[in-house]
Structure 1
Amino acid sequence: MSDNDLLSRISIDPNICFGKPCIRGHRIWVSLILDYLAGGTTIEEVLEAYPSIEREDVLACIAYGAEMVRDVFVELPLTKKKEASA
């Protein structure tokens, strides 16, 4: 399935969920699915939690996230390593 096919599974409607990107036909935010995946939840676990969506919907969320950051660079703060105490 191409990225365009996947991205067609995402909808943005200013009258639904405050215009946040959602899985088409659902009020499930793309960011919610990405948060789950980033937190270590597997695709299978997401599908169990949301039985009305399909694996391709989760892949569409990942594709959407990738597309959104393709030309955007966010500077991340550097953290200092703690020195070992003697």
Structure 2
Amino acid sequence: MDGNQNLLSRISVDPNICSGKPCIKGHRIWVSLILGYLAGGTSIEEVLEAYPSIEREDILACIAYGAE
């Protein structure tokens, strides 16, 4: 599995969870929420402080998902 595919495996799209919005797997944190924070100037470190249950790779997965 290449790097992007490995990252994308951290994203879940399930019609029964968060109305099918892409989320970080195992969490109800939307990809769009994380991307919105980053686009607004919030650093990865600040997002990790706000959401201590996720990892840096989860944020990178959100970025990779947005790039697809």
Query: Which interval holds the TM-score relative to the shorter structure?
Result: over 0.9
SS at match of 1:60: helix
Output the TM-score relative to the length of structure 1: 0.77
The gaps in structure 1 that reach 5 residues or longer are 68-86
- Is the radius of gyration larger for structure 1 or structure 2? 1
SS at match of 2:16: coil
> How many percent of aligned residue pairs carry the same amino acid?
84
2:12 aligned residue: 11
Number of residue equivalences: 67
Larger RCO of the pair (alpha carbons < 8 Å, separation 6+): 2
Output the TM-score relative to the length of structure 2: 0.97
Cα displacement (A) at 1:22: 0.0
Structure 1 segments, 4+ long, off by >4 Å, are none
**Pairwise CA RMSD:** 0.8
Cα displacement (A) at 1:4: 0.3
